[in-house]
C-alpha cells in the first residue's frame, strides 16, 4: 500500500497501448479531495492526454466505502480561521475547478468507477467523466447547504440539465441518490455491480485499441457488463416520486418552494426523509443555491465555474461556511449558528454580495 494520497499506474493492453490509472488513496477519510490530490492529478491528466500510447484514463479510489466523500473541508476550515491562510482556500477552489473542467473537456475516454459514497467534490471529479459507472453501493449527494456552502463544482450547469426541476430539488435538499437515481438524472452512464469490476478491467485491457474508436470501445465493454448487472439495479426513488418533486418545486420564490418541500417532511418514505435536512440548512446557502441555479440556466460550463469561483472565494471570507464546518466536524455540536436564522430574515444585499467580485488592489 502506498502512503501517497493519489496513486498513478498504467495498465498494458493486448494491443500494446496503455490505460492511465488514477486511484484516490486516503480511504480512512473516505478519499476526501485534498489540495495534494488536485495538484498531482491535473498535471498527470495533461501528460496522459499528450501521450499517444495512453488511450483512456481509469479513475477510481482505494477501499470499498467511498469513491470520494467531498472536498477536504477540515483543511478549508483552517484556511478560513487561521491568520494569513485564506490564500490556501482560494488556491484550492481555483485548482479544483480547473481540474473539473479538464475532466469535462478531456480528449480521451475517462472512466470513473463511482463505487460507494460520492459527494460534493467527488461528484465534481465524476460528473465530467465520459463514462461514469455506478454500482449497487453508490450513494451520491450534494449536501453543501447543510455546511454553509452551496452546490458548486459546476453544479449550476449540470443541475440545470437534469429532468425538469430534479436538479433544484437535489441542490436544496441534499437528498441522497442511489445508482439508479444517478442514471435517471444524468449523473451516471452505466450501472455495473462491484463484483464485476475486475472483469471490466480485464475486458478493457484485452481489447484491441488500434482497431476501434476509443470511446466506442469503452462503451462496448461497459455495456456488456451492465447487461449482466441488470438484476441488481435498484428502483430509483427520484423516478418514483418525480411528480411529487415537480409539484413541490413549482413555485415563484424560494420561501414558497422551501415551504412546499417542508410539507413533505411528514411522510414516512424516501421523499419525507430527503427533505428533513431543510430545517437545519443555512438560509444563506439555500438562497445562494436558488439564485445560482436560476442565473445559470443558459450559461456554459466555463461561465458557471467562473461564477462559482467568485461565490466560493466570497464564502471563504464571510463566515457562514466556516460556521457550518465547525458545527459538523470541528466541535461536532450539530448546532450551527447561522448569520440569519430564517429565510424571512435574509437581507438581499448579503446574498447578492456573494456574487460580487472584490475589486482588485
The residue from 20, 70, 120, 121 that is catalytic is 121
State yes or no: is 152 an active-site residue. Answer: yes
Q: Kindly indicate the confidence band of residue 356, based on its pLDDT and cuts at 50, 70 and 90.
A: very high
Catalytic residue among 71, 116, 124, 324: 71
What is the percent of the chain with per-residue pLDDT over 90, rounded to a whole number? 97
Q: Are 97 and 151 in contact (CB under 8 A)?
A: no
* 186: pLDDT strictly greater than 90: yes
Q: Exactly one of 100, 144, 181, 308 is catalytic; which is it?
A: 144
297-326 average pLDDT score: 97
User: Which one is catalytic: 17, 62, 152, 226?
Assistant: 152
Per residue in 69-100, pLDDT tens?
Answer: 999 999 999 999 999 999 999 999 999 999 99
Label residue 195 by pLDDT band (50, 70, 90). Answer: very high
Cα separation, 274 vs 181, in Å, equals 13
Residues near 334 by Cβ (< 8 Å), separated by ≥ 6?
280, 327, 328
Q: Is 203 designated active site?
A: no
Q: Are 64 and 153 in contact (CB under 8 A)?
A: no
Look up the pTM and report it: 0.96
Mean pLDDT value across the chain: 96
What is the β-pairing status of strands 6-12 and 18-24?
Answer: antiparallel
Pick the closest to residue 197 from 225, 227, 164, 160 (CA basis). Answer: 225
Give tens-digit pLDDT for 328-343: 999 999 999 999 999 9
Instruction: Tell me the three cell numbers of residue 47.
Output: 501528460
Q: How far apart are CA 68 and CA 6, in angstroms?
A: 12
Does 71 participate in catalysis according to the annotation? yes
Other CB atoms within a 10 A radius of the CB of residue 223 amount to 12
Read off the pLDDT of each residue in 30-35 and give the average, rounded to a whole number: 97
- For the record, the C-alpha cell of 136 comes out as 449497487
Percent above pLDDT 70 for the chain: 99
pLDDT for 358: 66
Annotated active-site residue 144? The verdict is yes
The yes-or-no verdict on residue 275 having pLDDT over 70 is yes
Q: pLDDT band at 359, cuts 50/70/90?
A: low
What distance in Å separates the CA atoms of residue 63 and residue 133, rounded to the nearest whole number?
16
Domains of the chain in start order, with CATH, are: 6-353 (3.90.226.10)
Amino acid at each position: 500500500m502506498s502512503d501517497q494520497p493519489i496513486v498513478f499506474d498504467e495498465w498494458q493492453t493486448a494491443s500494446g497501448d496503455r490505460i492511465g490509472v488514477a486511484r484516490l488513496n486516503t480511504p480512512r477519510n473516505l478519499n476526501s479531495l485534498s489540495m495534494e490530490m488536485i495538484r498531482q492529478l491535473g498535471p498527470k491528466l495533461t501528460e496522459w492526454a499528450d501521450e499517444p500510447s495512453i488511450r483512456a484514463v481509469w479513475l477510481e479510489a482505494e477501499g470499498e466505502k467511498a469513491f470520494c466523500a467531498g472536498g477536504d473541508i477540515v483543511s478549508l476550515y483552517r484556511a478560513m480561521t487561521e491568520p494569513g491562510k485564506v490564500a490556501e482556500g482560494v488556491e484550492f477552489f481555483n485548482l479544483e475547478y480547473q481540474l473539473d473542467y479538464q475532466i469535462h473537456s478531456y480528449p480521451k475516454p475517462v472512466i470513473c468507477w463511482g463505487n460507494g459514497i460520492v459527494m460534493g467534490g467527488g461528484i465534481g471529479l465524476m460528473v465530467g467523466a465520459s463514462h461514469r459507472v455506478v454500482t449497487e453501493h453508490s450513494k451520491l449527494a450534494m449536501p453543501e447547504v447543510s455546511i454553509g456552502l452551496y452546490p458548486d463544482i459546476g453544479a449550476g450547469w449540470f443541475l440545470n440539465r437534469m429532468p425538469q426541476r430534479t436538479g433544484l430539488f437535489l441542490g436544496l435538499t441534499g437528498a441522497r441518490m442511489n445508482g439508479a437515481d444517478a442514471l435517471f438524472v444524468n449523473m451516471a452512464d452505466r450501472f455495473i455491480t462491484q463484483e464485476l469490476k475486475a472483469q471490466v478491467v480485464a475486458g478493457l485491457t484485452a481489447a484491441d485499441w488500434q482497431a476501434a474508436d476509443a470511446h466506442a470501445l469503452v462503451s462496448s465493454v461497459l455495456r456488456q457488463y451492465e447487461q449482466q448487472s441488470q438484476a441488481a439495479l435498484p428502483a430509483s426513488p427520484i423516478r418514483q416520486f418525480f411528480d411529487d418533486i415537480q409539484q413541490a418545486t413549482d413555485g415563484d420564490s424560494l420561501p414558497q418552494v422551501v415551504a412546499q418541500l417542508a410539507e413533505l417532511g411528514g411522510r414516512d418514505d424516501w421523499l419525507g426523509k430527503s427533505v428533513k435536512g431543510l430545517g437545519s440548512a443555512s438560509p444563506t446557502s439555500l438562497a445562494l443555491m436558488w439564485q445560482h441555479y436560476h442565473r445559470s440556466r443558459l450559461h456554459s460550463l466555463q461561465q458557471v465555474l467562473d461564477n462559482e469561483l467568485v461565490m466560493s472565494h466570497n464564502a471563504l471570507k464571510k463566515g457562514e461556511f466556516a460556521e457550518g464546518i465547525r458545527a459538523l466536524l470541528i466541535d461536532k455540536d450539530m448546532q450551527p449558528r447561522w448569520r440569519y436564522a430564517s429565510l424571512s430574515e435574509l437581507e438581499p444585499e448579503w446574498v447578492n454580495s456573494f456574487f460580487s467580485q472584490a475589486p482588485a488592489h
